Amino acid sequence: MSEALVEVKNLKKHFTLEHDFFGRPTTVLKAVDGVSFQIKKGEAFGLVGESGCGKTTIGKMLVNLYTPTDGQIVFEGTDLTKLSPAKRREFCKDIQLIFQDPYASLNPRMTIGDIIAEPIKINNLLPKDQIEKRVTYLLNCVGLANHQRNRYPHEFSGGQRQRVGIARALAVQPKLIVCDEPVSALDVSIQAQVLNLLDELKEEFGLTYLFIAHGLNVVKHISDRVGVMYLGNLVEIAPKQELYENPLHPYTQALLSAIPSVDPTKRKQRIILSGDVPSPINPPDGCRFCSRCFKKFDGCESENPVLREVSPGHFVACRLWQEK
């Protein structure tokens, strides 16, 4: 848990929605707009934020589904954004993705055995005769029975399918797994099972996770450190304990107050944010959160604060903490 496995520097992804007559972009959606963080080896880094804040886009840039508009992704010392497509593909086996929707992420025409074996075959990781055994092993790892390998995805439940997706991600022995809301499409009872499975696999294989979720409660279970995103920007990064006990950014405070409490005596004041998330097409100048912030003061509308370390390991991008 020392050196950074992956470091993201000022990462940007802008989607051009409209061009003018000369092909110049006129409407640009800034899904991710200058995000920097690092994930240490063996760590689970949680990334939270509401829908559309760009967290999935970050995940997809890491696994080569999107090409970043600007910025760097440094993986074990190599900047992935500078590589040729063929070279970039070689890093596929180091960074894998677990999808949000287990119903859409498995090819309906392949048996689950084939689905899990495919990444091994494509990357030539094992001789042909050993693939079978490896698939058996992987199936056992994720809690599926070997005799199910010739079945098709539609014969499985959501939780089982997600296990297949996990086994597929594990098949290439990746170093980093991007979990893109892996449990949000599942029943609450199954969520816990899958989260526990992910936790166990992390220990067993020494994995590093980028865990994307839209609620802090799921992330609490699995992450070591948590980053909070709002409208394409990271607003706060802190170790889990610190973030839950001492949230500094007003948005984080509002998010935390929204977690339902099981203990009625501990009901806390909920912070209700007014208004909607501004469109990422024309984000406010200044602080992205200022239009909804309940602690807004003079100057928030014109100056976008940068992440700043206010206590060891605790970064926040808010002008409330900028002066101290």
Work out which of 46, 54, 71, 119 binds other proteins, going by CB under 8 A: 119
Work out which of 136, 184, 257, 322 binds other proteins, going by CB under 8 A: 136
Residue 145 found at the interface with other proteins (CB under 8 A): yes
Task: Kindly tell me which of 10 and 150 has the beta carbon lying closer to other proteins.
Answer: 150
Rounded to a whole number of angstroms, the minimum distance from the CB of residue 232 to other proteins is 21
Of 233, 123, 133, nearest to 169 by C-alpha is 123
Report the sign of the C-alpha dihedral through residues 150, 152, 155, 156, in that order: positive
Residue 118 found at the interface with other proteins (CB under 8 A): yes
Count CB atoms within 10 A of the CB of residue 20.
9
Residue span binding other proteins (CB under 8 A) among the ranges 20-28, 116-124, 197-205, 283-291: 116-124
Question: 41: which 2 tokens?
Answer: 């080896």
Residue 152 found at the interface with other proteins (CB under 8 A): yes
Task: Kindly tell me which of 63 and 256 has the beta carbon lying closer to other proteins.
Answer: 63
Per-residue binding letters, 41-80, with other proteins (x by CB under 8 A): -------------------x--xxx---------------
Task: Kindly tell me which of 136 and 184 has the beta carbon lying closer to other proteins.
Answer: 136
Q: Are 174 and 207 spatial neighbours (Cβ–Cβ below 8 Å)?
A: yes
Rounded to a whole number of angstroms, the minimum distance from the CB of residue 280 to other proteins is 20
Residue 23 found at the interface with other proteins (CB under 8 A): no
